[in-house]
Amino acid sequence: MNDKSANSSIVQGTIGALICVVMLAGCGHVTTPTEEQTGWVELFDGQSLEGWNQVNGEAPYESVDGVIRGTNIFDTPNSFLATDEEYSDFMLEFESRSIGDANSGVQFRTELAPGTWSGVVGYQLDIDPSERRWTGGIYHEGVHIWRHSMARNPDCQAAYQHGEWNAYRIEAIGSVIATWVNGVPCAHMTGDHHATGFVALQVHAIGQEEKYLGSFTEWRNLRVLTDPQPSDLMQAQRGALVEGWLDNQVSEIEIEKGWKAFEFLDGAATVDVASDGFEFVIDMQMDDAAEGYLDYSFEYDGNACEGRYAILNDAALGETRPASHLMGSSPDTHEAINLSEPGRPKRVYADGRWNRVRIVVTDDRIQHWLNSVKVVDYPRCGNLSVPTSIQAVSLNLLTDNGQIATKNAKLRTSDS
């Protein structure tokens, strides 16, 4: 190559570089040939926070050594670094690591909620370094409800490696949401609370707790694929335990796992079972004076086993009732406590929110669950020296005071 040609090439390269700079400044993202071929779009260029903006809190976010870092500080609410773009149906992949003990997460299908503590409302994939290890679960930020905790998914609980880089995947297609941590299936749920919204990186509020000060979370290799095709999805590798939040409707993914709706008219129902075990779910809403019981009984081998699940607005009446009569307890026999989250109280939702009541009967145990955590666990009644097949389950809601509303009654057998 002669000097003239070389100089011409240098000039053309300089002009090309300037054009790229202008494009980056104006567009926030330049699609690479690889992205054009695959459809994936990188959300972070490894250098700047172009395309992102902070929507709540004052915890600092910065680009450091090719990653986005968010650091925990005192006296600020939950902080979020959000994408300028919004996404509806998508696949999102990223890597993250947490240094220190503070909780974090990634929001999706999220929108602004001015005037609230979080400033946002939407779904969050939780990053949880605490002893309960619920990383990969779905928390409903701004509503303060766990939509799918990892209390019953030990494989997912074991997948997260604290202090190391962990790989995450979210699939959100229509009402179906699924998550993975390091390739392990975690949450799998249906919900129509949010159809679209931004993605956001969370730094959790720590108040004045010294042990969390200076903790930080880092993210890298964030990329999104919008409107993925069925062949792009990992449908066969999704979590086996599903949660359904469609009002009075059993979703397709629940039907595939054996869930069936049943009528709970006037607070009573009898459901044929023909299995060694079962679980049923029902959502309940209580006013301030609400107090009652959900009685359940099932028949097997000519015997009957009976139980009672206390329904009570603990927030309004908790200090006036015996501990073994509070929400979720088996009255006078088993006090409801949080068995899934060491050191944490159970969750009872008042102020118009719905409580998810779950009763699980196995071949030798009976469990009460309340809002994603196990609160009672005791031996199943009767002689269990031989397999016992349950023929029917009867349910009866007794309301002593106040108002108790119900919806979403459904049941599955253990052999589904």
Domain CATH code at residue 409: 2.60.120.560
Q: What is the pTM assigned to this prediction? A: 0.88
43-47, 134-138, 390-394, 398-402: which range is least confident on average? 390-394
Number of domains within the chain: 2
Confidence of residue 313 (pLDDT cuts 50, 70, 90): very high
Is the same domain home to 173 and 228? yes
Is the same domain home to 163 and 93? yes
3-state SS of 250-265 is CCHHHHHCCCEECCCH
Residue 269: give the domain boundaries: 258-346+353-413
Average pLDDT over residues 354-376: 96
- Could you give the CA distance from residue 137 to residue 105 in angstroms, rounded to a whole number? 10
Is the same domain home to 216 and 329? no
Is the same domain home to 231 and 290? no
Is the same domain home to 41 and 135? yes
- Beta pairing partners, 410: 261, 281
Average model confidence (pLDDT) across the chain: 90
Detail the DSSP E strand segments found in 88-144: 90-99, 104-112, 120-127, 138-141
Does residue 22 lie within any of the structural domains? no
Confidence of residue 6 (pLDDT cuts 50, 70, 90): very low
* Residue ending a domain, choose from 202, 237, 272: 237
Give the Å distances, CA to CA, from 132 to 124, 142, 184, 259, 326.
17, 21, 17, 27, 24
Does residue 11 lie within any of the structural domains? no
Is the same domain home to 213 and 336? no
Is the same domain home to 44 and 144? yes
Does residue 3 lie within any of the structural domains? no
Position 383 scores a pLDDT of 56
Is the same domain home to 229 and 278? no
Position 387 scores a pLDDT of 55
Does residue 23 lie within any of the structural domains? no
Amino acid at position 314, single letter: D
Position 14 scores a pLDDT of 40
* Residue ending a domain, choose from 203, 237, 271: 237
Tokens representing 343? Answer: 């050191």
Confidence of residue 11 (pLDDT cuts 50, 70, 90): very low
Is the same domain home to 223 and 262? no
pLDDT above 60 (res 13): no
Is the same domain home to 275 and 227? no
Does residue 316 lie within any of the structural domains? yes
* Residue ending a domain, choose from 237, 272, 307: 237
Average pLDDT over residues 81-92: 98
Position 22 scores a pLDDT of 35
Is the same domain home to 269 and 382? yes
Model pLDDT for residues 165-215, shown as the tens digit of each residue: 999 999 999 999 999 999 999 999 999 999 999 999 999 999 999 999 999
Does residue 1 lie within any of the structural domains? no
Is the same domain home to 129 and 277? no
CA torsion 81-86-90-96 (nearest 10°) is -10
Position 30 scores a pLDDT of 37
pLDDT above 80 (res 2): no
Position 415 scores a pLDDT of 82
% of the chain beyond a pLDDT of 90: 82
